[in-house]
Amino acid sequence: MSDIQTTEPSVWINPNGRITDKFFIKLSTGYQLIDSESRLTPLELNKRSLLLMFQENWDTLFDKAKMCPITKGQRITNTDLEVFYSQMTSSIPTYCYQGYPLTQAYTLLNEFIAYQNNNFQTQMTAYPMPPKAVKAKVNTLSVDSDWIKNGKKVSSILTIVDRYWLDTDCYTETQIIGWLIFSAMIYGGINDKKTLVSYINTIREPTKRQPFINFNIISHGHYKNRKYGNEYITDDLYCNQQIVLDPVTRCWLIRLNDCHSKARMISVFDELIHETLIETSIENILKTTLTPLLVKQSIKTPTLAFMLSNSSYIWEMLPNVNVDQASVTVMKGKQDTVGLTKKSFERLLHQKYQPIQKVYENKEFLDLEIIASNGECEKKPSRRQADDELDLIKELKNILHKKYEHQNKSKSQSNIIDELLKISHDSSGLSYKILIRWVLSLVEKKELIMSLSANI
């Protein structure tokens, strides 16, 4: 419930309490009647249209309740008032023409209700004021006239790069970082300059990477931003981001780690791997990586800005990718954040909206286990992972010991394989399946050797 406005509104209203087709202007000496539309400015005409619309709908509610709107103490119910507010909220935009600001129209509605409270209601029966008017900013499309033309250029570059990746086995450390940058833009959707710089520097540090759901990798990065962010560090505002690495970038990250682990390359590689890259160095590395491929095809090497602006032509078209244009503008760095859908925005501004405070911790996601279950089965009590591992090892030992307990070796061998396959099928954990399959491969290899020896 808003506070009651006690100051007399400055809207042009009939001093007798009703708005008619005549128009009154309040002057310091009183009210002046204007009965000629030619004497009104376009802005004043728009105000009069709004006020007449308010009064007409207001009178309709009173007529429905068989009450008089100018009789002191006559009051419509809060339910009818909500209906009135809802109707005015949907109607106001259609009445705002010739540059009349929408916020002023809502202010006019507030003054209309304040006028009713001051003249026809007491402090106890006063109407609650309308919800605060907030003009929603609609996200613009990220696609412009050059997006398709430039996107096709990026697509042709990707075709050349794909062919090069298939035909090449060895890469220098600079090339690997260059392809990290390239794949992050093309397949990871990192098309914002500041985010890309932070992302490339972050994923090269093992301490800033950790496992995520379904064998993914998540990186934790942040960069300084003067106007927008979600983290304060020593009075500076930062954008703290958590990004799941795309599969292609992960492949190049594996090559980067392998390259770094080779002793013969450490002396050359260390200087670059530990260097904090900035925008210019990232652009130089990308240019150095792409130029040798593109010059053979007489294609001009694109700038970093060109790739950031048009790479979405690739990843927006990838299978199973469905990203709305508002999110695309954020990923391109054209906007810092997106709001809500129109329907959700209206629900947020509704007087009866109650926010729900829910904080999600990373640990909740990292500990999440997704296990297919049958609804008919009873829920089994949870067990410690260590207990499951001990049981698996014990079961493997029992199966392998059968080989030495039977005289018929071939029959024992066959039984071992069958039992290993059964427990592999019953196991839900990936690490357990890997262990079982490894033991199974050893048993099958032993059987194959024995079979070849017998034939010889």
**Could you read off the pLDDT tens digit of each residue along the chain, which spans 456 residues?**
333 333 333 444 454 555 554 555 444 444 454 555 556 677 777 787 888 888 888 888 888 878 877 777 788 888 888 889 888 888 887 777 655 677 788 888 888 888 888 888 888 888 888 876 666 677 777 777 888 899 999 999 999 999 999 999 889 888 999 999 999 999 999 999 989 998 998 888 877 888 877 778 888 888 888 888 888 888 888 888 888 899 999 999 888 888 777 644 444 444 555 567 888 889 999 999 999 999 999 999 999 999 999 999 999 888 888 888 888 888 888 888 777 777 787 777 776 777 777 776 666 655 555 444 444 444 444 445 555 666 777 777 777 666 555 545 554 556 677 777 777 666 666 667 777 777 777 776 655 444 434 443
- Residue 394's pLDDT is 73
3-class secondary structure, 277: coil
- Residue 27's pLDDT is 45
CB 254 within 8 A of CB 171: no
CB 10 within 8 A of CB 114: no
CA distances 429 to 250, 267, 369, 372, 423, Å, are 23, 40, 10, 12, 11
Instruction: Identify residue 74 by its one-letter amino acid code.
Output: Q
- Residue 104's pLDDT is 81
Q: Within a 10 A sphere around the Cβ of 139, how many other Cβ atoms? A: 17
- Residue 5's pLDDT is 35
**214: which 2 tokens?**
């379904």
- DSSP 3-state helix, strand, coil percentages of the chain (rounded to 5)? 55, 10, 35
- Residue 265's pLDDT is 46
- Residue 7's pLDDT is 35
**250: which 2 tokens?**
């992960």
Apex 100 CA angle, 94 and 106, nearest 5 = 70
Instruction: Identify residue 422 by its one-letter amino acid code.
Output: K
- Residue 191's pLDDT is 92
